[in-house]
């Protein structure tokens, strides 16, 4: 296996621009001299060094890196050294090589010990231990130790990452800094993505590593594969770059990298990326449903209520890999069959077989039976789903033609519990929930200007929940139905507003609109709440105008929703932004039932 120096990789991954004088440099510029070390040129006129590749990648993902300005040796020496760069807040967990404690990073390099594994799972998902970077002792002194994290409300990885628009915002700490609590919303900024590897053949030589200076080695290999190239997140600081070609059917392996080894895990050809040039796998049905195994914890066979099923499902959240077009089309087909009431006879297409289980589920509280489509594949045995594609639940004997949708489970705290509780108690038709946390994907190709991750179900079309929304809308046709998305906003996001209702447009509702009826019914049940719609005072900026489901249901074509705003609203779509403390299902059941 060929070893490639970091300097060469950076040179290949960037446009390197010469500069005549350091006086021509602007703040936020990446610079380098004749060596491989990269610096950040800050507003104070000093250069700040990236101590290793993993720290660099936390700020500059591979597909979002700017140009590097090459400065001659004399000019570089004339720029004072300001210090070392620390990891971007919220992106990675870190530990020192000589201590077993794992820390979350907040702004200005403040570290917070994750006191329990359960806390780590709540904040970073079941694969939290694959998101840890070792910091050498010599660089650990760049960080300061803050308060340990003893409750979920104390720290929000997404909000921490968004608290810094640029690296400049992370350089100069005030005397006291506290991490962004779970309920706090901060202005958006570009969000880093994991380093990627691709599928390779079932067997590969065991790699060796060598590290020159302070920069880790980047591994590179060209091999053959049974499936098209496919990307999955891996751990820094070692990045694996593999070029794969399809040669045979059957199984293949995915490389995951740690700081000391490479591990192979088994997957199937159905996960090929849509951009692959190889022949797609067949869409012919292969088998009916999927045999659930009690030995697979992702099957959640011990769950007896919808609430416990949801808790079990989310305890297995992991990373996110976007589905290809075939898988999304097949997901629509299965969703349609569920809506038709064909749960027990559903045949899963090839692209979903082994990844999903479609089954009837009887809730012990109500003795009511639902059709559930949920992800169960855990090829590497890490306790987390492999794709993060989400779940659909259908009630074929509903009282209300409502779709309850939770786009940001865990991140919009308690909305997952709220949503399943409202769905169950309102006897609604369907329930959607995203299958991964909103920040674990690559930067969004759908709405890159808004700092969304590709796993953010409200702002990307390359997700199963967008495909499911398309299908449920087609299934209803001209019949009346509504999608209710329950979201969470921070306590300071819209000052003076507890609940903000919109149709996906920042337009004052017309007389007789359902949103006004909903507002009246909320205040009837909760007269002390502050409930606003567009046009009310105080105002709120969270009008869901970029929400892709909202745009689609408001008349924008599916292929245009990423960049095109709706010109009107249809009243099919409702976004409910809620401050902390206003997300209990019990507070909303009577409201929903009296409105619809």
Give the pLDDT of residue 8: 34
- The string of DSSP codes covering 430-468 is EEEE-SS-TTSSSBPSSSGGGT-BTT-TTS-SSSHHHHH
Do the Cβ atoms of 469 and 558 come closer than 8 Å?
no
Domains of the chain, by residue range, sit at 2-84, 93-165, 195-269, 287-595
Instruction: Give the span between the Cα atoms of 504 and 552, in whole angstroms.
Output: 10
Q: Which H or E element spans position 69?
A: strand 68-70
- What is the gyration radius of the CA atoms in the chain, in angstroms? 25
What tokens does 475 get?
């299934």
Give the pLDDT of residue 594: 98
Q: Which H or E element spans position 356?
A: strand 356-362
Peptide bond into 456 cis (omega under 30): no
Do the Cβ atoms of 489 and 578 come closer than 8 Å?
yes
Q: Which residues of the chain are under the pLDDT cut of 50? A: 1-15, 18-22, 175-176, 183-291
Do the Cβ atoms of 117 and 93 come closer than 8 Å?
no
Positive or negative torsion for Cα 9, 13, 18, 24: negative
Residue 469: name the closest of 482, 478, 456, 479 by CA: 482
Instruction: Give the span between the Cα atoms of 250 and 225, in whole angstroms.
Output: 10
Give the pLDDT of residue 249: 35
- The CATH architecture annotation of domain 287-595 reads 3-Layer(aba) Sandwich (3.40)
Q: How many CA atoms lie within 13 A of 3 on its CB side?
A: 12
Give the pLDDT of residue 210: 30
The DSSP secondary-structure symbol of 24 reads G
CA angle 58, 443, 37 (to 5 degrees): 30
Give the pLDDT of residue 228: 31
Laid out side by side, the sheet with 428-433 consists of 356-362, 369-375, 391-394, 428-433, 400-406, 482-488, 573-578, 499-502, 531-532
Positive or negative torsion for Cα 407, 410, 415, 419: positive
Give the pLDDT of residue 227: 31
Do the Cβ atoms of 566 and 550 come closer than 8 Å?
yes
In the structure, how many helices (H) and strands (E) does the chain have? 13, 29
pTM of the complete model beyond 0.75: no
Q: 511 CB contacts (<8 Å, ≥6 apart)?
A: none
Give the pLDDT of residue 582: 96
Give the pLDDT of residue 174: 58
Instruction: Give the span between the Cα atoms of 318 and 345, in whole angstroms.
Output: 30
Instruction: Give the span between the Cα atoms of 508 and 355, in whole angstroms.
Output: 44
In 159-189, which positions are buried (b, 16+ CB within 10 angstroms) versus exposed (e)?
bbbbbbeebbebbeeeeeeebbbbbbbbeee
Give the pLDDT of residue 2: 27
Give the number of other Cβ atoms within 10 Å of residue 294's Cβ: 9
Q: How many CA atoms lie within 13 A of 323 on its CB side?
A: 29
Give the pLDDT of residue 60: 81
What tokens does 351 get?
């692209």
Q: Which H or E element spans position 470?
A: helix 464-476
Give the pLDDT of residue 231: 31
């Amino acid at each position: 296996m060929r070893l490639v120096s970091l300097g060469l990789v950076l040179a290949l991954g960037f446009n390197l621009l010469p500069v005549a004088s350091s006086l021509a440099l602007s703040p936020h510029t990446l610079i380098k001299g004749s060596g491989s070390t990269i610096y950040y040129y800050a507003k104070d006129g000093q250069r700040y060094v990236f101590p290793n590749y993993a720290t660099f990648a936390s700020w500059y993902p591979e597909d979002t890196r700017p140009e590097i300005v090459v400065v001659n040796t004399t000019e570089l020496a004339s720029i004072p050294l300001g210090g070392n760069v620390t990891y971007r807040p919220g992106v990675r967990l870190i530990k020192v090589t000589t201590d077993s404690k794992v820390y979350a990073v907040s702004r200005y390099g403040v570290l917070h010990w994750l006191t329990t594994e359960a806390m780590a799972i709540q904040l970073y998902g079941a694969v939290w231990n694959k998101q840890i970077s070792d910091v050498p002792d010599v660089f650990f002194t760049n960080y300061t130790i803050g308060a340990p994290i003893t409750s979920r409300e104390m720290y929000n990885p997404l909000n921490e990452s968004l608290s810094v628009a640029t690296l400049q915002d992370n350089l100069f700490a005030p005397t006291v800094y506290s991490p962004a609590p779970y309920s706090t919303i901060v202005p958006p900024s570009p969000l880093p993505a994991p380093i990627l590897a691709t599928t390779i053949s079932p067997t590969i030589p065991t790699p060796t590593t060598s590290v020159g200076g302070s920069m880790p080695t980047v591994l590179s290999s060209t091999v053959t594969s049974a499936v098209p190239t496919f990307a999955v997140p891996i751990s820094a600081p070692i990045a694996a770059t593999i070029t794969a070609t399809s040669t045979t059917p059957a199984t293949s392996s995915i490389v995951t990298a740690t700081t000391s080894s490479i591990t192979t895990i088994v997957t199937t050809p159905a996960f090929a990326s849509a951009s692959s040039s190889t022949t797609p796998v067949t869409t012919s049905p292969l088998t009916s449903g999927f045999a659930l195994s009690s030995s697979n914890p992702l099957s959640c066979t011990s769950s007896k209520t919808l609430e416990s099923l949801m808790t079990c499902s989310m305890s297995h959240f992991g990373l996110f890999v976007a589905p290809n077009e075939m898988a999304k089309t097949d997901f629509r087909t299965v969703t349609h069959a569920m809506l038709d009431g064909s749960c027990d006879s559903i045949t899963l297409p090839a692209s979903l077989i082994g990844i999903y289980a479609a089954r009837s589920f009887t809730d012990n509280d109500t003795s009511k039976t639902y059709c559930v489509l949920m992800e169960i594949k855990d090829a590497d045995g890490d306790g987390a789903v492999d794709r993060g594609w989400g779940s659909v639940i259908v009630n074929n004997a509903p009282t209300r033609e409502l779709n309850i949708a939770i786009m940001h489970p865990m991140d919009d705290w308690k909305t997952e519990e709220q949503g399943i509780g409202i769905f169950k108690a309102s006897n609604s038709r369907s329930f959607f929930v995203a299958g991964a946390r909103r920040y674990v994907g690559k930067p969004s190709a759908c709405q890159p200007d808004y700092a969304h991750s590709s796993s953010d179900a409200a702002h990307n079309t390359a997700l199963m929940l967008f495909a499911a929304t398309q299908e449920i809308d087609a299934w209803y046709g001209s019949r009346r139905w509504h999608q209710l998305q329950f979201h969470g906003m921070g306590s300071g996001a819209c000052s003076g507003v507890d609940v903000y209702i919109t149709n996906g447009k920042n337009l004052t509702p017309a007389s007789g609109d359902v949103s006004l009826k909903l507002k009246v019914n909320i205040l009837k049940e909760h007269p002390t709440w502050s409930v606003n719609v567009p046009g009310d005072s105080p105002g709120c900026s969270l009008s869901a105008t970029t929400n892709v489901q909202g745009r689609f249901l408001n008349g924008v074509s599916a292929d245009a929703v990423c960049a095109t705003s709706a010109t009107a609203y249809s009243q099919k779509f409702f976004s409910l932004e809620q401050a902390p403390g206003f997300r209990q299902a019990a507070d909303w059941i009577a409201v929903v039932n009296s409105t619809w």
